Structure 1
Amino acid sequence: MKSILLNIFNGRIVSPWWILFIDVGIVINSFVIAFVLRLNINLPSYSVSEMVLNCTIVSSLYLVSFLSFGSFKGVVRHSNYSEFKNLIVACFVAFSSSLFINELVGLLSDSWISTPRLALVFHFLMTSMLAFAFRMLVKETYSSLTKKDTSQNVYVYGAGEMGQITLEAIRNDRDNQYRVVGFIDDDASKWNMVLHSIPVISWEKAMTLSRGKQVNLVILAINHISVQRKHEITAACLDIGWKLKVMPSVGNWVNGISNQKQIRDIRIEDILGRDEIKLNLLEIMSGLENKVVLVSGAAGSIGSEIVRQLLRFPVQKIIMVDVAESALYDLQQELLLAHTDSPFEVILADVTNIQRMQEVFGTYKPQLVFHAAAYKHVPLMEQFPYEAIRVNVGGVKVMADLAIEYGVGKFVMVSTDKAVNPTNVMGASKRICEIYVQALSQQNNIQTQFVTTRFGNVLGSNGSVVPLFKKQIERGGPLTVTHKEITRYFMTIPEACQLVLEAGFMGQGGEIYVFDMGEPVKIDDLAKEMIRLSGLKLGEDIEIAYTGLRPGEKLYEELLANKENTLPTHHDKIMIGKVRRHQYEEVNSSINDLLFALKIESNHLLVSRMKDIVPEFKSQNSCFVSLDKVMPER
């Protein structure tokens, strides 16, 4: 029997016209009942024909109202609040029309026997209730038939709008695996309230009741919550042994849809990030409005997020340039799904290819450039300095020179904290890029404003420690940490890219903006936290292995932003770095020589040239340490 009913429900063999037919049937039967209830002992004074005539008029008005409002067109088993509201409004409009026509005809015709007003009121109330009850019966029957016996009891943390959206998403999902047994909220005024037949309780009461209700999962559903509070909730859940999941805020729903599948495990990024950044949206909007923007390295972690952030603003077109075919295709498909009318163009090209880049600049004439294309992995660049110079230095030179040639208004280069007193080839290559871009900005008679942005490690970016730890946890470990005391500064990808946009519209050009990276994080502590978030126990389920520092790797990163090496701006998270100025002619000559040497010189000779350009570049744990003591002859 259950399977037969499910086939009927899932096949939607009931046409909307049948729903309309049922609604009209409810109207007619309600009229007869209302008529009998109102007249009672006086019923014989009214003829059947008069009742039928009045019923026909009233039913016709309800039919017209149902057709006008389309109250019958929804899928009944998925009826929601807006559809119920539409039904009530349609009934009320029909009732008002019936009342008005009944009174008007009664005034105009003495022979007309009008329907008693109270009968019309009874009729409206019964019709509304019965039509509503019909939909609820179908909805609840379907919910009961599709409900899984394996549903898990959960608490929803947050009794506000986001918590109620989460409850609705869970209840409306036919594959639902959760049964919400309580809302937890920090607001004492909400305690002991009941929302959608579910009690709102305090954290302490939730812990007391959890054993009896067999709850071991909490879904965090709060739109605006500080990172500190999120960290406290996470720590409390882990201490109790509860698993914690998150319902993303509306802006982060996949394809803008709310459903149970959006609920995800809490990530390390959620509790290591910081509170929402306040952007100067008016300044950014005026800088981007109706502009053609080129983003190089658009398929990378930073470049792709810059593209997503740009799509929030009224840009004319976004030119997405990258040499990584698969990653660029994936980004293209993501944007096509999320933004059907997105103004973007995909360009598969290498930023070091000057002829190809000339073609791109000449065709699209970008007014802003965000240059995020670069090689970034320290050990690999230490092994292959040729590529660090060719792509990082050569790519910046090509793009920056073309920006001047084609009159680009603003050129924003994404740099790294590893460019500060670099100890590896990658950091040194990015410092050379900074020097070149800053030297270019000092030339006379150029309209391009050059801006550099520096920030540290980005949580969740391709190849960073977080995705690596996730993979190692999935494989059962061990998690590899290079040194027990190694520390790094972290920020989330959206946070970094929002600050890039903000900094991009500050100043007059030539500045190197550095970001406040917050407090340093020990990688060992990060690994332990990720193990806990995965529901595993260190030493029992999984281990941490210490592998030693990699070539070019620092134990502690330089502090990017302090009063000694920065100047403040109007944004408390963005400072201007104090760096030595360089003459363009000297820098340009050195970089041209370096790029030419790629064709003829060994890695050691190339790195020695880098150390000439960046005297503070002192190698650590690297085969190039000897170059800091004795410079080889060329």
Structure 2
Amino acid sequence: MNFRKKIRKKIYSGDNIMNLSDIRYLPRWIILLIDVFFIFLAISFSCYLIEKLSFSTQKVFYDGRYMYGLIVATSVVFMVAFRTYAGIIRHSTFIDLFKLFLATLCTAIVVGVISFSVRIVSGFRMIHMSVPFLAIFFASSFMLLFIFRLFVKEFFHIAREFRRSTLKKRILVLGIDEQSIAIARAILDNPNLPYHVVGFLTQRHDSKRAHLLGKPIFIKEKIERNTKEDLALDGVLIVKEMMAKNEMDSWVNLFLEKDLQVFKAPSVQKLRDSDFGMTIRNLQIEDLLNRKPIRIENEEVKKRHYKKSVLITGGAGSIGSEILRQVAQFDPEVIVVVDQAETPLYEIELEMRKSYPHIQFKFVLADISNIHRIEPLFEKYRFSMVYHAAAYKHVPMIEENPHEAILVNVLGSRNLATLSCKYKVNRFVMVSTDKAVKPTNVMGASKRAAELFVQALQNTEGNITKFITTRFGNVLGSNGSVIPHFKKQIEAGGPVTITHPDIVRYFMTIPEACDLVLQAGTMGKGGEIFVFDMGEPMKILDLATRMIKLSGFEPNSDIKIVFTGLRPGEKLYEELLSDDAKTMPTHNEKIMISKDPTMAYEEIEVFFKRIIRSAFRREKVEVVQILKEIVPEFKSNNSIYEVLDK
């Protein structure tokens, strides 16, 4: 009864594909019987062939029963002696083949000796034409036993490959150049990879009848004309480094339209057999947004950092930690990293001490608003470069707690800037944001206030520090940014939440942002605000739709998109330059200098003293009111502080 239940379950459940792991090995005695059967065939074939080759007209008599019995018995003896039946046939090796050779050879020799001896002693002929017969028997029996094992081995190999191919993703490799062919060959040569190369894809029309590596070449029009089901494809593999951004965008749009998954592989130069399977992965939205990074003037940057003392605030954050990694490449004498987030600071400490054991690091858990905690660092290390990346940046959170933004973004920046001036730091580079331009929220306004203070300090009497500000948009993959947030929502099955269908943002990668910071540190003369040419802005709705499709899902079918409404202080469009700002070019076409309105140091110092006192008293409304006096263009949007603008 249990057996019938198992059979019924096997028939009516599962994927109806034979699982070779369920096929048990045959008992060894059955293998021995099969081998004996092939010995019978070899004897019969040898007798038939000898009779056909015999030219004698005289009939020769011999007893076949004795011949069959002697040969089979001798074969079994040597099969048992050499254990030819003991190996698992589907895993046969050269050793198993050699055992068969020895067993059949010894059988032929022993049978020949016995037959000859019997004939000499008694005159009884057991085998007709014994020498030719035994030669034919040896060859035929060995070939039959060998072919049987070869057939079983190949059958299981083909069945195993078929099984694997049904479980693998069927993909096309984009391109017919040497790079694409090398990637395809690497996949074909590695049966453990979960990909099955169906063919190649190209825009060229002169190759549609040709084959590469035995695979057909598809043209773009074929993909456009057919559905995913008609093509019997799961996805397409691209080599990202081989294409321009516009070309890749065009291909990816086509693949997403056809619901094909898009995978990316490294270039051949980066290819290592040991981890090739790990380097093929789904194309990420960062790959589509990433542009050619700024080229850093390495010699100038190295000169600014080599054997120098460097301070990085916010060094455990997304931007600060990347600045830390890049600065460490230039062998400074000491790098002091300040952050108030304990666990991230510990994690970056472990990473940096492992990666750069020869560099002296000092990781300090501290709040930059506490000047008594920060000043001893300036006094002890006498910094040459200060990178100020510490800030509160989450718009809705800061809108709820404006006094906290003042303590960190305003007071903290003031502490660092004044200490840099006092201890004659060579260069002070502050990381700002595009939200500081015509701000609609407290976070952006607090960063604009910090920009004004840093610029005002540049022109104070006796100052030798060059104060430089860098301003850029949203950073891909940074803590709390939209892309990691969307990824988590997609992994959870949705919904993906967007505040407004028309909201638009600029994007850049973390390496790009940090390249800008380092470049600004070398090219700034003091008092500038550097802005980055961030290309075209992207609608967040388009971003979410592409991310869902790149993850292999259908928007609003598999993963819902829900609009939640603008958050307090949020605006539809971000800007990098204010209306009355004038831009000046630099020798790097991707970087411009924004000539924003400035404020005298004496004037902004009075404002700062007032707003800092209010922040310590937790006077939220008063804090925002003073902030609006410092930054007149600050107009609250979708916020309780809109009443202050009337």
**Alignment TM-score, normalising by the size of structure 1:** 0.69
Pair 1:349-2:366 in alignment: yes
Whole-angstrom distance in 1 between the partners of 2:235 and 2:350: 34
Which residue number in structure 2 is paired with residue 246 of structure 1? Answer: 264
Residue identity in the other structure for 2:277:
Q
Specify which of 221, 232, 235 is matched with residue 217 of structure 1: 235
1:583-605 residue CA offsets vs partner (Å, 9 max, x unmatched): 11221232123223322251111
Alpha-carbon offset, residue 439 of structure 1: 0.7
1:512-552 residue CA offsets vs partner (Å, 9 max, x unmatched): 11122222222222222222222222232222222111111
Q: Is the Cα–Cα contact under 8 Å of residues 295 and 318 in structure 1 kept in the other structure?
A: yes
Q: Is the Cα–Cα contact under 8 Å of residues 473 and 576 in structure 2 kept in the other structure?
A: no
Which residue number in structure 2 is paired with residue 236 of structure 1? Answer: 254
Whole-angstrom distance in 2 between the partners of 1:340 and 1:170: 38
Whole-angstrom distance in 1 between the partners of 2:598 and 2:178: 53
Residue identity in the other structure for 1:499:
L
The 5 Å alignment of 1:412-423 reads 412-423=429-440
Question: Aligned to 1:556, what secondary structure does the other structure show?
Answer: coil
Which residue number in structure 1 is paired with residue 482 of structure 2? Answer: 465
1:6-27 residue CA offsets vs partner (Å, 9 max, x unmatched): xxxxxxxxxxxxxxxxxxxxxx
Q: Is the Cα–Cα contact under 8 Å of residues 226 and 275 in structure 1 kept in the other structure?
A: no
Which residue number in structure 2 is paired with residue 384 of structure 1? Answer: 401
Alpha-carbon offset, residue 173 of structure 1: 6.7
Question: Aligned to 1:351, what secondary structure does the other structure show?
Answer: coil
Pair 1:548-2:565 in alignment: yes
Q: Is the Cα–Cα contact under 8 Å of residues 259 and 549 in structure 2 kept in the other structure?
A: no
1:144-188 residue CA offsets vs partner (Å, 9 max, x unmatched): 9x9887333333335567546745765787852223344546688
Deviates more, 1:511-520 or 1:413-422: 511-520
Which residue number in structure 1 is paired with residue 386 of structure 2? Answer: 369
Specify which of 581, 595, 602 is matched with residue 585 of structure 1: 602
In structure 2, the CA distance between the partners of 1:390 and 1:211, relative to structure 1 (3 Å rule), is same
Whole-angstrom distance in 2 between the partners of 1:257 and 1:594: 59
Alpha-carbon offset, residue 196 of structure 1: 6.8
Alpha-carbon offset, residue 197 of structure 1: 6.8
Q: Is the Cα–Cα contact under 8 Å of residues 185 and 213 in structure 2 kept in the other structure?
A: no
Q: Is the Cα–Cα contact under 8 Å of residues 395 and 441 in structure 2 kept in the other structure?
A: yes
Whole-angstrom distance in 2 between the partners of 1:357 and 1:163: 54
Deviates more, 1:188-197 or 1:216-225: 188-197
Deviates more, 1:194-203 or 1:549-558: 194-203
Whole-angstrom distance in 2 between the partners of 1:270 and 1:486: 21
Pair 1:456-2:473 in alignment: yes
Residue identity in the other structure for 1:325:
E
Whole-angstrom distance in 2 between the partners of 1:199 and 1:555: 48
1:316-361 residue CA offsets vs partner (Å, 9 max, x unmatched): 4433221112222333344456556566443322222222222333
In structure 2, the CA distance between the partners of 1:249 and 1:625, relative to structure 1 (3 Å rule), is farther
The 5 Å alignment of 1:540-619 reads 540-560=557-577, 565-619=582-636
In structure 2, the CA distance between the partners of 1:557 and 1:206, relative to structure 1 (3 Å rule), is closer
| CA RMSD, 1 decimal | 3.6
1:407-442 residue CA offsets vs partner (Å, 9 max, x unmatched): 221111000111111111101100110011101111
Q: Is the Cα–Cα contact under 8 Å of residues 162 and 222 in structure 1 kept in the other structure?
A: no
Which residue number in structure 1 is paired with residue 494 of structure 2? Answer: 477
Whole-angstrom distance in 2 between the partners of 1:424 and 1:497: 25
Residue identity in the other structure for 1:215:
L
Which residue number in structure 2 is paired with residue 527 of structure 1? Answer: 544
Whole-angstrom distance in 1 between the partners of 2:388 and 2:253: 39
Deviates more, 1:258-267 or 1:186-195: 186-195
In structure 2, the CA distance between the partners of 1:561 and 1:420, relative to structure 1 (3 Å rule), is closer
Which residue number in structure 1 is paired with residue 642 of structure 2? Answer: 625
Which residue number in structure 1 is paired with residue 281 of structure 2? Answer: 264
Question: Aligned to 2:386, what secondary structure does the other structure show?
Answer: strand
Q: Is the Cα–Cα contact under 8 Å of residues 333 and 359 in structure 2 kept in the other structure?
A: no
Deviates more, 1:171-180 or 1:150-159: 171-180
Residue identity in the other structure for 1:218:
V
Specify which of 502, 507, 511 is matched with residue 494 of structure 1: 511
The 5 Å alignment of 1:179-194 reads 179-184=196-201
Q: Is the Cα–Cα contact under 8 Å of residues 162 and 223 in structure 1 kept in the other structure?
A: no
Whole-angstrom distance in 1 between the partners of 2:412 and 2:254: 48
Question: Aligned to 2:336, what secondary structure does the other structure show?
Answer: strand
Q: Is the Cα–Cα contact under 8 Å of residues 310 and 335 in structure 2 kept in the other structure?
A: yes
Q: Is the Cα–Cα contact under 8 Å of residues 265 and 279 in structure 2 kept in the other structure?
A: yes
Whole-angstrom distance in 2 between the partners of 1:381 and 1:469: 21
Whole-angstrom distance in 1 between the partners of 2:274 and 2:381: 34
Gaps of at least 5 residues in structure 2 are 1-19, 21-156
Specify which of 369, 380, 398 is matched with residue 415 of structure 2: 398
Q: Is the Cα–Cα contact under 8 Å of residues 428 and 617 in structure 1 kept in the other structure?
A: yes
Give the fraction of aligned pairs with identical amino acids, expressed as a percent.
45
Q: Is the Cα–Cα contact under 8 Å of residues 188 and 197 in structure 2 kept in the other structure?
A: no
Residue identity in the other structure for 1:451:
I
In structure 2, the CA distance between the partners of 1:335 and 1:169, relative to structure 1 (3 Å rule), is farther
Specify which of 495, 500, 517 is matched with residue 534 of structure 2: 517
Whole-angstrom distance in 2 between the partners of 1:441 and 1:584: 9
Q: Is the Cα–Cα contact under 8 Å of residues 314 and 338 in structure 2 kept in the other structure?
A: yes
In structure 2, the CA distance between the partners of 1:276 and 1:598, relative to structure 1 (3 Å rule), is closer
The 5 Å alignment of 1:116-131 reads none
Residue identity in the other structure for 1:587:
I
Which residue number in structure 1 is paired with residue 101 of structure 2? Answer: none
Q: Is the Cα–Cα contact under 8 Å of residues 411 and 451 in structure 1 kept in the other structure?
A: yes
Which residue number in structure 1 is paired with residue 299 of structure 2? Answer: 282
Residue identity in the other structure for 2:601:
Y
Q: Is the Cα–Cα contact under 8 Å of residues 581 and 594 in structure 2 kept in the other structure?
A: no
Which residue number in structure 1 is paired with residue 244 of structure 2? Answer: 226
Q: Is the Cα–Cα contact under 8 Å of residues 403 and 411 in structure 1 kept in the other structure?
A: yes
Deviates more, 1:595-604 or 1:153-162: 153-162
Whole-angstrom distance in 2 between the partners of 1:303 and 1:326: 15
Question: Aligned to 1:259, what secondary structure does the other structure show?
Answer: helix
Whole-angstrom distance in 2 between the partners of 1:213 and 1:239: 14
Alpha-carbon offset, residue 611 of structure 1: 1.4
Alpha-carbon offset, residue 371 of structure 1: 0.7
Higher Rg = 2
In structure 2, the CA distance between the partners of 1:409 and 1:534, relative to structure 1 (3 Å rule), is same
Whole-angstrom distance in 1 between the partners of 2:361 and 2:300: 22
Residue identity in the other structure for 2:382:
K
1:462-507 residue CA offsets vs partner (Å, 9 max, x unmatched): 1112122212222222221112222222222222221222222113
Whole-angstrom distance in 2 between the partners of 1:345 and 1:183: 53
